[in-house]
Structure 1
Amino acid sequence: MPYTIQAENTDLFSIDAQGELNPDNIPEAVDQIMEQTSEEDPGSLLVRLQHMDLGTLHNVASSWSRTAEFFALQKRFNKVAVLTDQPWVRQSAKMQAVALPDTELKVYDLADEADARVWLEKQAAPAAEPELA
């Protein structure tokens, strides 16, 4: 299988994909993530994309990003870190981030996984309470 999905803990999921993805496998992967995540308690997602085939990834991302499943899935993650070994995947992920208005997305080199994990684990600072005079 060209991808694996793992629940590392209740707040962090990881997806590893490499080579040529089969668009027919996407619904199965989405179902697997949807079963293990919650819209009420969004978590973080670490995605590793290695040696990706340009045509396949583009076709999958292009058609899938317009589906209802994509919009439902994005509500389950506050943060997404994409690790990749290819500059064109990095650019593509940054462009795809526009379709994720409620999700923070950062792209890292594969060698920077530790930095990506630190960023994913960092909680947003609570809003400051106004001081009463």
Structure 2
Amino acid sequence: MPYTIEAETNDLTTIDAQGDLNPEAMPEAVDQLMEQTDAEDPGSLLVRLQHMDLGTLHTVASDWSRKAEFFALQKRFGKVAVLTDQPWVRQSAKMQAVALPDTELKVYDLADEADARVWLEKAPAETEAA
């Protein structure tokens, strides 16, 4: 899976992924995220998923949503914005949000990255008032 993980700021990490997900690459990606984030000071995550393959995304999401690493990662992000070009990925991300009870998750079209970034930057109290 071609992906990149970048800590844009202390509070914002981005992941860009496209094509087939490689389940064997997940431990390395999780390690990178753990190194770049802090469980004591949760930040935000911006995920761009483009041209994803249904079978591999479903398999990886189903497998990883039950792992201890997934639960450890969720404590590192108070908000997650998913940008995608595919309706089925949008729906899948919304369903995965159920497994993230302590994390706010919103899904956006790829073209709406500016809106996603504005939402990620809002403090929780501002989000409730909006």
What is the TM-score of this pair, normalised by structure 2?
Answer: 0.95
Q: CA deviation at 1:2?
A: 0.9
Runs (4 or more) in structure 1 with deviation over 6 Å come to none
Question: One-letter code of the match for 2:90?
Answer: R
Q: CA deviation at 1:124?
A: 1.6
CA distance in 1, matches of 2:25, 2:7: 18
Task: Kindly indicate whether residue 54 of structure 2 is the aligned counterpart of residue 54 of structure 1.
Answer: yes
Question: One-letter code of the match for 1:82?
Answer: V
Match of 1:90 in 2: 90
SS in 2 for 1:93: helix
SS in 1 for 2:32: helix
Alignment of 1:1-133 (within 5 A): 2-125=2-125
Answer with 1 or 2: which has the greater Rg.
1
Unaligned runs of 5+ in 2: none
What is the TM-score of this pair, normalised by structure 1?
Answer: 0.93
The alignment covers a number of residue pairs equal to 126
CA distance in 1, matches of 2:58, 2:46: 19
Q: CA deviation at 1:36?
A: 1.3
Question: One-letter code of the match for 2:92?
Answer: S
CA distance in 1, matches of 2:35, 2:106: 25
Question: One-letter code of the match for 1:4?
Answer: T
Q: Which moved more, 1:70-79 or 1:32-41?
A: 32-41
The structure with the largest helix share of the pair is 2
